[in-house]
Structure 1
């Protein structure tokens, strides 16, 4: 019997226009299904959303969630991380409170990110 071993370097979808449309569609579908909520209600109960926070989005893909979150909470800093920057939006379209980084999350994060997020 052979075991299926997860290969973190293999991505089964395409990082092209159709792949980006798929990810963005999934985001909009989920927000529609949750009453246009970007945060789970338990998260809102744990943090004071009116204060400045720093949030990380792991496997950010097209960065649709950080971009949506940045519009809803302009006083927050949102950092998106993905193994590839191929689906990131054009730099000129990214608001000042969003930063996007290329990072393999199967590898340790650099020390400068430790303890920085809510």
Structure 2
């Protein structure tokens, strides 16, 4: 499942500071949600297979592999520039169970026979900025195609186009945050990204139960 030269639609630089930001963001999200894999999934399966779509630095996937020492894990991203090195995987005892692959989440040719129907859990996090236009439907289709029967698609995202700030502390200035959100929306408009608000509809259309 490897594209030789997929077009990288990631809007941010793939450098060391961005990798550090992704890793810090992962820590924040994990603390906020309280789980890596949602508790109601079959994460106690001794033959657990996990896929991470648009995995970036691979930090979520390597955390899953460390937390579930029986799991076999595959990460997919349109670029391999931020993947952990083979040496890093060896040093953390993950080289035998964690693999990374360069692949476009919205590839119109699908996921490839080697991975179709192979995974108990398929995870996606914060891909709203990377999927452009009609690609979102294909991305959902591809993610669903990776699932085993009765598998779980765990998609964590937000919709900047419909989001709004909630004031929790009275009288605290928030003009900077308002300006940041407004600017982010304007940026997304230039990229023609799909609205994350459509995800439930797209998932149901692919036969998923919410």
Please provide the CA RMSD for this pair.
1.5
Larger Rg: 2
Aligned to 1:13, what secondary structure does the other structure show?
A: coil
Tell me which stretches of 4 or more aligned residues in structure 1 moved more than 3 Å: none
Instruction: Output the CA distance in 2 between the equivalents of 1:80 and 1:92.
Output: 17
1:105 maps to which residue? 105
Q: Which runs of 5+ in 2 are unaligned?
A: 1-6, 121-210
Match of 1:42 in 2: 40
Does the Cα contact within 8 Å between 2:53 and 2:77 map onto a contact in 1? yes
Match of 2:80 in 1: 85
Please tell me whether the aligned partners of residues 37 and 43 of structure 2 are also in contact (alpha carbons under 8 angstroms). Answer: no
Per-residue Cα deviation, 1:9-52 (whole angstroms, up to 9, x for no partner):
432111001110111011000112233x2112232xxx151422
Taking the aligned partners of 2:43 and 2:82, their CA distance within structure 1 comes to: 31
Structure 2 length as normaliser, TM-score?
Answer: 0.48
- CA deviations 1:56-84 (Å, max 9, x no partner) are 10000000011000111110101000000
The alignment of Structure 1 onto Structure 2 pairs a total of residues equal to 107
Indicate the structure whose relative CO is greater, using CA pairs within 8 Å and at least 6 residues apart: 1
Paired with 2:58 and 2:8, the residues of 1 have a C-alpha distance of 20
TM alignment of 1:1-118, pairs within 5 A: 9-35=8-34, 37-43=35-41, 47-94=42-89, 95=94, 96-107=96-107, 108-118=110-120
1:106 CA drift (Å): 1.2
Between the aligned partners of 1:61 and 1:67, the Cα distance in structure 2 is 12
User: Which 5+ residue runs of structure 1 have no aligned equivalent?
Assistant: 1-7
